[in-house]
Amino acid sequence: MKHYFFALLTVMFSMGIVLGQSNCSHYYPLVDGANFEYTSYDKKGKEEGKINYKVTNVNGSGDNVTATMVMQLEDQKGNTYDSEYNVTCDGDKVKIDFKSLMNEQMLNQLGEMEVEVSGTDIELPSNLGVGQELPDGNVTVQMKMGGAMNMNMNVETINRKVEKIETVTTPAGTFKNCLVIYSETRTKMIMANQTMPSRVWIAEGIGMVKQESYNKSGKLMASSVLTAYSL
């Protein structure tokens, strides 16, 4: 089950924030009870599974709002893996609380281990424009597996910037004037280091509508699109 924990952690960093609507942010808004369904595909376009988000526990108003994102990942076999994390919007930026990533659902994926987590919150400005550079984010997870054996995992989002504006059509509809955000997700674990460039298309009032991940040569390796939502 440990590999599902790692998958969930990487998904949170690579896909960005997915939220409903409020007055706090144009592109990353919040509304209690909003639902978003994404379908994931492999490099050949074959469906791999679905990710569902639900916005809950919205508190505050105006330019100061907090909420909990409940996420469920379903694979092709129908197995589901749940997690949740906290999101804050303070008027000029939206951020994910990295400490909340290590919640009960996540820890259950790891079994009997001592776990320590450190890092920086993922921040996204409320107002975005083409050419804008965005702050990096990272989470480091240290796991004590018993005896002298330890395992560390570090996930970073780096080189983040707003590239351009495009129109995107998905099964959920056509979304005009989407901002395209480029970033690189760098994962380090044991002897393995991997960096995957990605792009996220975000629509005003909706959030993410499309995401693509590439290999180091720029070839498409995986994608996700918004297939259904309700606000």
* Residue found by looking up tokens 């995401």 in the block: 211
Query: How confident is the model at residue 226, as a pLDDT?
Result: 94
User: Are residues 100 and 88 in contact, defined by beta-carbon separation less than 8 angstroms?
Assistant: no
Which sign, positive or negative, has the C-alpha torsion 118, 137, 15, 48?
negative
What is the DSSP code string of 28-70?
A: S---TT-EEEEEEEETTS-EEEEEEEEEEEEEEETTEEEEEEE
Q: What is the pLDDT of residues 112-138, one digit of tens each?
A: 567 777 888 777 787 889 999 998 888
Q: Which domain holds residue 90?
A: 2-230
Q: Which long-range contacts (CB under 8 A, 24 or more apart) does 41-44 make?
A: 41/222, 41/223, 41/224, 41/225, 42/221, 42/222, 43/219, 43/220, 43/221, 43/222
- 72/56 Cα distance (integer angstroms): 14
In total, how many domains does the chain have?
1
Q: What predicted TM-score, i.e. pTM, was given to this entire model?
A: 0.83
* pLDDT per residue as tens digits for the range 37-65: 999 999 999 999 898 988 889 888 777 88
CATH assignment at residue 167 = 2.40.360.20
- Average model confidence (pLDDT) for the chain? 80
